Structure 1
Amino acid sequence: MTSFSAADAAIQPKVEPRPRRKGAGMALWRAIRGNGKAFAGAVLLLIFLIAAILPNLFTPVKNPNARAFALSLPPSGAHLLGTTSYGQDIWAQLVWGTRQTLVVAVIAGALASVLSVLIGVAAAYLGGLADDLLSLLIDVFLVIPAFPLIIVIAAYANGGNLAVIVGVLVITGWSYGARQLRAQALSLRRRDFLESARVRGEGWFYIVNFEILPTMISLIAANFLGAALYAVLTAAGLQFIGLGSPSSVSWGTMLHWAQSAEALQTGQSWWVVAPGLCIALLGAAFALLNYAFDEISNPALRPVRRQRRNRGGN
């Protein structure tokens, strides 16, 4: 019996263990702390989050749309960025506008990422005709000119409604992430740890949620950041051309009203520069954070850095 057991064990195939993410939170923190660009992005995003959640910490003005001040005042101690042609505090509008901008970015980015995961992973896992049809759907949305389509949909669907803007951003922003996730899932479909799960009799729900998706967390997070950046820029563009709600306060609507009042021509440059700069900084924060997720998803980047440091020390 002993010799039979040894021989039987010798012929058993070696099953590749499923990749595990140990201490994902600590790994993310180490990656952000060890990467100057990623750390700068995290700090910028944290500042915007605090301003969105607690705007009263940055300005005493409760109603940024209130026309309670003198018109077209220059920057001063009372009004850090001056006032608009309508008597509104520009700094207060900038701070309060952070909330709507981040809400659009987070909700649209999250929903687009969920749609990307559902379609991209389903196409790779199902294969065959389902893969062909879903891949065709992805390709169609990839080649459609996005911004003209967004303008048409928002204009005919009451674009001033924030829910409509978010829905349009989700519909037009999921395809690129789905293509990436499909390619990654295809590379995992025939891995040994998935074959062993099928042999054990695990269903598709378990395999997808507990075997495939945990190995793709960093890629999903990177896709979310990309979708959020797309949402920020596109929503600001829609609001700038007048497809946002005129009564809402966001950086895009600030640019719209500044352009309508010819702010640059009348010496009110901060009315234009401030929201434009915040849009750029928020976009930079999302882009810089991708460095941390690249480091987690591509471990080869870390040894290269260590080697460079060691060479510099020698």
Structure 2
Amino acid sequence: MKLPGNPKVRIGICVFAFFALVALVGPYVVQNLMGLSPSDVHTADAMQGPSGAHPLGTTATGEDVLAQLVVGSRVSLLVGLVAGLVTTALSVLVGVAGGYLGGRADSVLTVLTNICLVIPGMPLLIIIASYVQGRGGWLTVALIIGLTAWPWGARQKRAQTLSLRHRDFVTAAEMTGESRWGVITRELIPSLAPIISVSFLGAVVGSMFADAGLSFIGLGNINITSWGSMLYWAQNGSALTRGAWWWFVPPGACIAVIGVAAGLINFGIDEISNPRLRKPPKKVRDRAEAAKLRRRTEERAEPATAPKAQEATS
């Protein structure tokens, strides 16, 4: 598989691929090959720093931090992926359909979007999560996040659809007898692919942040090992005041690195889709620098040759 030529996109995809690989095969390697378990309690090894036996140290109850980090990556990535898919699907359905159909359908969908936008997202998420707390696993958390995070994306996609629905390619598809949903799925959504991909990545990372935040305040399923539950138990165990940096820094750093990777991919997609943001090739830059240098040399040489020319004319 050939990666895109943009270096930012390459770096971002490589980071996501690394974490996906860790989530897929990491638990097997850690548990079966290294003999580490995320839930085995060893009080004699409690609060130990990184060592050969425990590469990332242990928790207050002697659980291995590396094993928890690797096993928890699967849950955190699944929550982000599922919630991102739900958020993106709802935002595309509501935004693109409302922007293209217009009329009463657009009015109803716009009112629904505005009502959801008026309600503060995080308090609503906290209320719903506290109501269903302990009644489901990571899938329930992902669905809650996805069902409460779509309005902003829907509003953005509706605005972009309004600018596209009178373009020539849409008019041509309508004149050939294409149905409305055919125009939406075959013409508008492919044209909005860069915006949809950017919003999907943002939704994935935002969902991971939301999951970590809910788990940190105790509203997620803290019995399931995830990066958020690691932060929750680290806070409960006073890891910061006790100087146990190895307990809370790794999960926080992983979430931050994924956020940076998503930002790099977003910037790269913007550069690919917008020619004005693209950096010219190195040969073009070298020729431009050489032309500037020649102009500067000529400008410096002109004052020295001007007096000689005046003396010759006199």
Q: TM-score range by the shorter chain?
A: 0.7 to 0.9
1:284 is displaced (CA, Å) by: 1.3
Paired AA for residue 25 in structure 2: L
Aligned to 1:255: 231
Q: TM-score if structure 1 supplies the norm length? A: 0.84
How well do the aligned residues superpose, as a CA RMSD in angstroms?
2.0
Aligned to 2:213: 237
Paired AA for residue 80 in structure 2: A
Give 1:48-87 correspondences, 5 Å limit.
Answer: 48-55=19-26, 56-57=28-29, 60-61=34-35, 63-68=37-42, 70-87=45-62
- Give the secondary-structure state (helix, strand or coil) at the position aligned to 1:102: helix
Aligned to 2:10: 39
Sort the Cα spacing of 1:257 and 1:187 in 2 relative to 1 into closer, same or farther, 3 A. same
1:62 is displaced (CA, Å) by: 5.6
1:107 is displaced (CA, Å) by: 0.6
Q: Which stretch of structure 1 is more off in the superposition, 289-298 or 96-105?
A: 289-298
Q: Which stretch of structure 1 is more off in the superposition, 145-154 or 135-144?
A: 135-144
Listed one character per residue, the Cα deviations across residues 249-294 of structure 1 (whole Å, up to 9, x for unaligned) are 1110001011111112223111011111111111111121112221
Aligned to 1:273: 249
Sort the Cα spacing of 1:241 and 1:160 in 2 relative to 1 into closer, same or farther, 3 A. farther
Segments of structure 2 that go 5 or more residues without pairing to the other structure are 292-314
1:152 is displaced (CA, Å) by: 0.7
Does structure 2 conserve the Cα–Cα contact (< 8 Å) formed by 1:229 and 1:287?
Answer: no
Does structure 2 conserve the Cα–Cα contact (< 8 Å) formed by 1:159 and 1:165?
Answer: no
From the CA coordinates, give the structure whose radius of gyration is larger: 2
Aligned to 1:94: 69
Tell me how far apart the structure 1 counterparts of residues 36 and 218 of structure 2 sit (CA, whole Å): 25
Does structure 1 conserve the Cα–Cα contact (< 8 Å) formed by 2:88 and 2:150?
Answer: yes
Tell me how far apart the structure 2 counterparts of residues 125 and 50 of structure 1 sit (CA, whole Å): 40
Whether 2:81 is the aligned partner of 1:109: answer no
- Give the secondary-structure state (helix, strand or coil) at the position aligned to 1:54: helix
Tell me how far apart the structure 2 counterparts of residues 267 and 152 of structure 1 sit (CA, whole Å): 33
Sort the Cα spacing of 1:309 and 1:197 in 2 relative to 1 into closer, same or farther, 3 A. farther
Does structure 2 conserve the Cα–Cα contact (< 8 Å) formed by 1:61 and 1:92?
Answer: no
Count of residue correspondences: 284
Tell me how far apart the structure 2 counterparts of residues 34 and 298 of structure 1 sit (CA, whole Å): 13
Paired AA for residue 41 in structure 2: R
Q: Which stretch of structure 1 is more off in the superposition, 103-112 or 242-251?
A: 242-251
Whether 2:118 is the aligned partner of 1:143: answer yes
Tell me how far apart the structure 1 counterparts of residues 95 and 53 of structure 2 sit (CA, whole Å): 52
Q: Which stretch of structure 1 is more off in the superposition, 225-234 or 284-293?
A: 284-293
